[in-house]
Amino acid sequence: MRPIAVALAGLAVLAASSCTAPAPPRAAAVSPPPSGPATLPAPTGPHPVGTTVLHLKDASRPDPWNLDAKVRQLKVTLWYPTGRKDGRRAAYMTAEESELLMRGGRIASAPYDTLSRTRTNAVVDAEPAGRKLPLVVLSPGFTKPVSALTSLAEDLASRGYVVAGIDHPYESYATTLEDGTIAECLACDSDADPGFGAVVAAGRAADVSFVLDRLPSAWAGSKVIDRSRIAMAGQSIGGAAAVAAMVKDARIRAGIDMDGSTYARIPKRGFTRPFLFLGGPEHVPGGRDPSWERDWDLLAGWKRWIVVKGADHQAFTDGPLLAGALGLTPAYGALTGPRAAELTRTYVAAFLDLHLKAQRRPVLDEPSPRHPEVRIVRAGG
C-alpha cells in the first residue's frame, strides 16, 4: 500500500496516507490574503443545537499506538437538539490544536491559531431536548479531528438526531485528552505499512462499540437517545471504519462511507443492513479505487452508490468552508464550500431519515434538478 498526497480542499493538508483511493499528488495553491475567521453555515433543521464533550477510558485494552498507554482514551463530542437558542458557542478547536494541524499540513498562509477562531453554531452544555432520538456516530479521516465534520454534525442535530463524533487519539495531528495533554499523530509513522488501513478500521470499530456501551451511563442526557436506532457515517478512513463497525456490531443499523476506500472485509454471506457510498469522481466504477466495486455485491440490503461531480476528497468535510480563512485555494475540485456542505448535508440526512425515521426521500431514488452534480451510479435493495 503506497502513501499518497491527499489535498485537503479547505485545509489543504498534504498527508502521507493510504486511507483513500490514490490520487495525483498536488499542492494547494496560496490564494489572496485570508478573509478573516470562517463561519460555519447555519444548520437547516428546526431545532437549536447544543454540544458537550465526554472523555471515556477503555481499561480493557491498551492504546494501539501509544505503547506507554495501558488504556484507550477517547474524546467524544456530542451534538443534539436543544430548546436553548442563546449561550456560549462551542470552540471549533483550541489554538494549540489549530497550530499542530496546520503545521502537520504544512499550512503557513495564515496565523497558526486560525482554525481555533472558526465560528460554530452549537451552544456549549445546553440541555438536550426531545426523546427517543436516533443516534449517529461520526468518524473523521486520518490525521483529522472530528471537528472537521462539525458542519454536518450541527445540521443533523438540528434535524432531530443525537450525533456522537469520536476523536481517535494518536491518529490525528492533535487530540486534547482529559488531563489537557495533546495526543499527536503516532500512527502517522506507520501509515505506509502493509495492512495499515485494515488495522485502523478495526481499531476504530472497537472504539465505536466501546462508545455505544458507555454512552448511556457516561452522558447525563442519554435518556433522549433511542438505542434501537443507531447509524454510523465516516469520511475517508472513517468511512472504512463504518463498514468495519457494522460487521462487528449489530447495533449499528445503517452506515455511510464518504469517499473512503473500504478495508474491512465483509463476510462472503454479506449483510443486509442499509449502506450508502457517497464520493467524488475517483469512486466511479472502474476508477482508481476498486474497493467499492469489490464490496458492492456483498451488500445484500438497501444500498446506493452516489458520486458527486466536482467533489474532491475533502468536499464532504468542513475543509472547503475553511479555505478562505486559511488563504488557500483547493488543489482540485470544482464545488464551492457552501455547495459542498449543502450536498453533503442533503444526502447524508436523506439516507438517515429513510433508515432511522422511515421517511422517504426521493433524492435517493432519482436525479434531482436541484442537485445536478449528483449521479446515482448504482442502486439496490
pTM, whole model, 2 decimals?
Answer: 0.92
- Closest by Cα among 218, 268, 260, 267 to 242: 260
Q: How many domains does the chain have?
A: 1
The CATH number linked to 193 is: 3.40.50.1820
Predicted pLDDT of residue 18: 36
pLDDT-based confidence at residue 33 (cuts at 50, 70, 90): low
Secondary element (H or E) of residue 205: helix 196-218
Residues 50-56 have a mean pLDDT of 98
83 close to 129: Cβ distance less than 8 angstroms: yes
Q: How is residue 59 annotated by DSSP? A: T
pLDDT at position 32 over 90: no
Backbone angles phi, psi at 314, to 5 degrees: -95, 5
157 close to 121: Cβ distance less than 8 angstroms: no
Question: Other C-beta atoms within 10 Å of 124: how many?
Answer: 14
Residue where the block lists cell 463530542: 77
For 71-105, how does the pLDDT look when each residue is reduced to its tens digit (9 = 90+)?
Answer: 999 999 999 999 999 999 999 999 999 999 999 99
275 close to 295: Cβ distance less than 8 angstroms: no
377 close to 284: Cβ distance less than 8 angstroms: yes
pLDDT at position 250 over 80: yes
Domain range spanning residue 173?
4-380
For 183-209, how does the pLDDT look when each residue is reduced to its tens digit (9 = 90+)?
Answer: 999 999 998 899 999 999 999 999 999
